[in-house]
Amino acid sequence: MQTEIKNITQCLKELTITVPKEKAKKDYEEIVRNFKNYVVVPGYRKGKAPLSMVVNMFGSRLKETYLKEKLSEYITEVFKEKDINPINEPEVKSLDWEPDTDLNATITYELSPQIELKQYTGLKIPYLEVQKKKENIDSFILQQQEAMAEMTENQGAKICKDHAISFEVTEIDNQTTKDQVEEESENKQKINPENSDPETYKQVILTKNNFGEEFTKNVVGLAVGDTTEAVIKSQTGEDEKKKIKITHIYDVKLPDLNEDFAKTFDFATMDELRTGIEKELENYVESETLKNQILAIDQALLENNPFDLPPTPVANYAENLAEGYAKNYNIPLDNCIEILKPAAEQEMKKYLFYNYLQETIKIEPNKEEEETLLKEFADQLKISVEDLIKRDPDVTKKPEFVQKLKDKALYRYLIENNELYPKEPEQEEPEDPEKDKQQGKEQEEKTEK
């Protein structure tokens, strides 16, 4: 047999097999002889009919049987000869054979990924640094005030920035796509989970600025019953123009910042509350910065140690991820799979790479990391470490704990042995009215087409 192997990717190969007509004929005739012994041909005893007559009567069936049985044997023979170990059944892409001709077959097969450690230390890795700002404390306190605010309906008022309003969408701008409508409907449910009407927004406090400054400008000065075109900033950050109708206006009374307010959060004074928030903010900043460092390390290591994945496991994993999304959001499963394939591939690469790295360099966790992880487990259950150990004396031996401890040790090693530095924040481009106008015109032309 003649064979040729082409590399489509590191894990996906194409094999072309050519079986000489003499061997193909011999194997085919073997199939015919075996078949002859089990069929009855009128005028002949069972198994005594001439081969030519059997072929004339059952030619298509015999050809199908030959290809089904012998092609598999040919492929297995090649795999054994070349020491090929596919991870799944090969897929036949083309097959060409007629009696007295060479058999030509092209198949594809997938192999396990081959990971090679090229560089995982000594890298310069930028990460996004989380800043601790005094404004964050004030912002948190204001959010809590707004959550506890008293609202009094004021139907005769004109809207000002200190009001809360309810409104309904009466018309969607023609340029808004179906996807944007579905996305905005989802966003409304997130902002107003108590709202059963997906076209109505209830008690939107304007100072929260949920929909952007442009929206506030559009509604200030309106009264109940007024309609207007308003630009709403969606959760994706895009501006969407919609026609809305004001249904309610509310005066908003925020609770005073005093000891009663502080006691709501189990602090005696506002100073103690601020100190408590600052401490929590410091912990948050530290935690989020570490997450960003880990994300940056993941990206850098996969970029500097590239490898391919076989497509079938990636597609299967993407399908597993997509099933929930497709069901929850009523989206075709195939669409979800295609959207989630990049994420599935990235997750699989990360999992395989770090497993291989851990097995190769074998970093041992230290006592501090074990104590930190125990506290994290206890915090999740809102109990003390002592109570956690009493409840589950073998918690440190559980697979989940052992794996997370290994991860902590490995990332500690990677942080220590690579140069991580905070990257410069991206500068926002200044607004360009002419550019925005041109983009709007292009979008309108696209929509018309």
Residue 174: give its domain's CATH number: 3.10.50
Mean pLDDT of 201-218: 82
Q: Residue 208 above 90 pLDDT?
A: no
pLDDT of residue 241: 81
Q: pLDDT grade, residue 210 (50/70/90)?
A: confident
Whether 14 and 90 map to the same domain: the answer is yes
Mean pLDDT of 155-169: 90
Whether 166 and 222 map to the same domain: the answer is yes
Whether 156 and 57 map to the same domain: the answer is no
Is residue 272 within 8 Å of 278, Cβ to Cβ?
no
Q: Residue 387 above 70 pLDDT?
A: yes
pLDDT tens figures, 118-128:
999 999 999 99
Which of these three, 198, 232, 253, is where a domain ends?
253
pLDDT of residue 175: 44
Whether 162 and 91 map to the same domain: the answer is no
Whether 154 and 231 map to the same domain: the answer is yes
pLDDT tens figures, 428-443:
555 555 555 565 555 5
Whether 103 and 160 map to the same domain: the answer is no
Asked if residue 24 is part of any domain, the answer here is yes
Counting Cα atoms < 13 Å in the Cβ hemisphere of 13 gives 22
Asked if residue 159 is part of any domain, the answer here is yes
Looking at per-residue confidence, does 24 or 38 come out higher?
24
pLDDT tens figures, 240-267:
788 889 999 999 999 999 999 999 999 9
pLDDT above 90: percentage of residues in the chain: 57
Which of these three, 253, 275, 292, is where a domain ends?
253
Query: Residue 31 and residue 36: Cα distance in Å, rounded?
Result: 9
pLDDT of residue 123: 97
CA 354, 86, 80: angle at the middle one, nearest 5?
130
Which of these three, 233, 253, 273, is where a domain ends?
253
- Domain with residue 23: its CATH number is 3.30.70.1050
Looking at per-residue confidence, does 321 or 428 come out higher?
321
Whether 98 and 19 map to the same domain: the answer is yes
Looking at per-residue confidence, does 329 or 442 come out higher?
329
pLDDT tens figures, 51-76:
777 777 777 888 898 999 999 999 99
In terms of Cβ atoms closer than 10 Å to its own Cβ (0-12, 13-18, 19+), residue 108 is middle
pLDDT of residue 100: 87
Whether 104 and 198 map to the same domain: the answer is no
Q: Residue 234 above 70 pLDDT?
A: no
pLDDT of residue 196: 40
Mean pLDDT of 180-201: 45
Whether 159 and 102 map to the same domain: the answer is no
Whether 203 and 106 map to the same domain: the answer is no
pLDDT of residue 177: 39
Asked if residue 46 is part of any domain, the answer here is yes
Mean pLDDT of the chain: 85
Using only the alpha carbons of the chain, give its radius of gyration: 34
Domain count, the chain: 2
Please give the residue range of the domain that contains residue 83.
Answer: 2-110
Asked if residue 362 is part of any domain, the answer here is no
Antiparallel, parallel or unpaired: β 200-205 and 164-172: antiparallel
pLDDT tens figures, 405-419:
999 999 999 999 999
Looking at per-residue confidence, does 179 or 386 come out higher?
386
Mean pLDDT of 284-297: 93
Whether 76 and 166 map to the same domain: the answer is no
Whether 175 and 230 map to the same domain: the answer is yes
Q: 309-321 in b/e burial notation, b at 16+ Cβ within 10 A?
A: bbbebbeebbbeb
Mean pLDDT of 363-369: 94
Mean pLDDT of 236-240: 65
Asked if residue 8 is part of any domain, the answer here is yes
Nearest C-alpha neighbor of 16 from the set 90, 69, 88: 90
